[in-house]
Structure 1
Amino acid sequence: MSVINFNIAQWRAWAPGLDSEQAWLDWSRRPVVPEASDAAPDVSFLPAMQRRRLSRLARMAFSVGWPLAEGRDELPLVFVSRHGETPRTFDILSDLATEQPLSPTQFSLSVHNAIIGLWSIMRGETSEMTALAAAGDGLEHGMLEACALLDEGAPAVLLVIAEEQPPQAYSAWIDDVPFPYALGLLLTPGTGWRLTLNSAPQALSKAHWPHALNLVQTLLGQQTLCQHAWKNRVWTWQRNL
């Protein structure tokens, strides 16, 4: 069993149609898949020239992360996405299949660490940054990375997890993104939360919602405990009130 402790100082979340705390509160009480939409979050805090380079996934990550980083210099960032820039990659593969010329910009922005690269450039941030692609418990792996940075002396760490809706061509293989979403957590040292990992003797069934969305429900509710099982790993989140 392994245990880590931390505080969630602030958090923000975004999904199409869910762009306020009240909207998320309503969703947490009756969670459903929002109506399909091409809506993207407001990132008007960025200059227009910079905004044009951002995919919707990048806009989602920036929209939840940027306000949490305001006023904080040297803020390490952990970015988590299981599927990354799948729509952009699919466009590149489609161009290859039809023998169209490829865009160097499209390619450079499709790699998994492109978003943290853009973040570093646009904020002038030189702190440690990590981009992770894990399986169904990527949020927890991101927490381990973030808490390691806190343990090394960082006064705060920004953790952002974001997933874009994959193209329809991937629907037979990717079924864990019910709708596009992003969650940002500003983490600080403390004992407000405890995350515990235990092993199960056999593989367990996965949850109905990605755990980042289940965590939003917990953050908005009165529950002090939530669990997330993935394969033979069981993660227990305990809030100490």
Structure 2
Amino acid sequence: MINFNIAQWRAWAPGLDSVDAWRDWCQAPTLLAQSDAAPDVSFLPAMQRRRLSRLARMAFSVGWPLAEGLQDLPLVFVSRHGETPRTLDILSDLANDQPLSPTQFSLSVHNAVIGLWSILRNETSEMTALAAAGDGLEHGMLEAAALLNEGAPAVLLVITEEQPPQAYASWINDVPFPYALGLLLTPGDEWQLALHTATVQPTNTQWPHALNLLRTLLTEQGACQHAWKNRVWNWQRKH
């Protein structure tokens, strides 16, 4: 069991880039139309913006405002699937006997986002990139809680998923649309996260748990639950 506060949050999806827009969506969640829209990251130099995929832009768009004015801010970055569009491009080049782009490869690896974050923010504190199945959000919370327990005054947790290319449709069915959620976590007891083991019946939930947690935040519910394999995670708002 871990305790923490959610001091601030930011989220982005195509067409959902304000608190009011997210509050409306959380009241009546619907599937978003496919879109090539990307978040505004004009706070970055133009040369650097051109290197960022949409997944990286999403991570920066929710994380950068939360980190404003904070020094030595540890970061936990979570994505189950990572840079699927870049990966498919690389595999396609291999299949067609085309030379591979070193830049494309370097930006496709799972820790590329935190590497870019470190460079662009001149940040040298602890950073972790996780690829953790269907309950990656909770594993990210455990990493963040460990950092808070070691004395960090705050930890930034960012979870983001890109819409996978159609070639992956048979294997990736848990990304209804591109999204990113950033949480600025601080020590406290506003929230409690507890893990229980149980025999869990497989269920297909329409929304990823990061979005269900956001619905809990914005609709002022007191609790939510997330089951994955034999793990049942209980989120409880204590105040």
* TM-score normalised to structure 2 length: 0.98
Contact kept? 2:200, 2:228, Cα under 8 Å: no
Q: Which one is further off, 138-147 or 229-238?
A: 229-238
Q: Give the alignment partner of residue 83 of structure 1, picking from 64, 81, 84.
A: 81
Q: Structure 2 regions of 5+ residues with no counterpart?
A: none
SS at match of 1:219: helix
SS at match of 1:136: helix
CA drift of 1:112 comes to: 0.2
Q: Name the counterpart of 1:182.
A: 180
* TM-score normalised to structure 1 length: 0.98
Mapped partners of 1:196, 1:206: distance in 2: 22
Q: Structure 1 regions of 5+ residues with no counterpart?
A: none
TM alignment of 1:41-190, pairs within 5 A: 41-190=39-188
SS at match of 1:137: helix
Deviations 1:204-225 (A, max 9, x none): 4242210000011011012111
Q: Give the alignment partner of residue 12 of structure 1, picking from 3, 10, 13.
A: 10
Mapped partners of 1:206, 1:184: distance in 2: 24
Mapped partners of 1:203, 1:162: distance in 2: 26
CA drift of 1:231 comes to: 1.1
Query: Percent identity at matched positions?
Result: 79
Mapped partners of 1:90, 1:203: distance in 2: 33
Mapped partners of 1:160, 1:234: distance in 2: 22
Letter in 2 for 1:168: Q
Contact kept? 2:200, 2:227, Cα under 8 Å: no
Letter in 2 for 1:52: R
Mapped partners of 1:197, 1:145: distance in 2: 14
CA drift of 1:232 comes to: 1.3
Counting matched residue pairs gives 239
Contact kept? 1:207, 1:228, Cα under 8 Å: no
Mapped partners of 1:62, 1:111: distance in 2: 17
Mapped partners of 2:99, 2:221: distance in 1: 53
CA drift of 1:102 comes to: 1.1
Mapped partners of 2:55, 2:49: distance in 1: 12
Mapped partners of 1:203, 1:148: distance in 2: 30
Inter-CA distance 25–110: structure 2 relative to 1 (3 Å threshold): same
Q: Give the alignment partner of residue 224 of structure 2, picking from 220, 223, 226.
A: 226
Deviations 1:172-227 (A, max 9, x none): 01000000000000000000000010011244424221000001101101211100
Letter in 2 for 1:16: P
Q: Name the counterpart of 1:240.
A: 238
Contact kept? 1:86, 1:166, Cα under 8 Å: yes
SS at match of 1:218: helix
Mapped partners of 1:219, 1:202: distance in 2: 25
Q: Name the counterpart of 2:192.
A: 194
Q: Name the counterpart of 2:206.
A: 208
Contact kept? 1:34, 1:179, Cα under 8 Å: yes
Contact kept? 1:77, 1:158, Cα under 8 Å: yes
Inter-CA distance 7–213: structure 2 relative to 1 (3 Å threshold): same
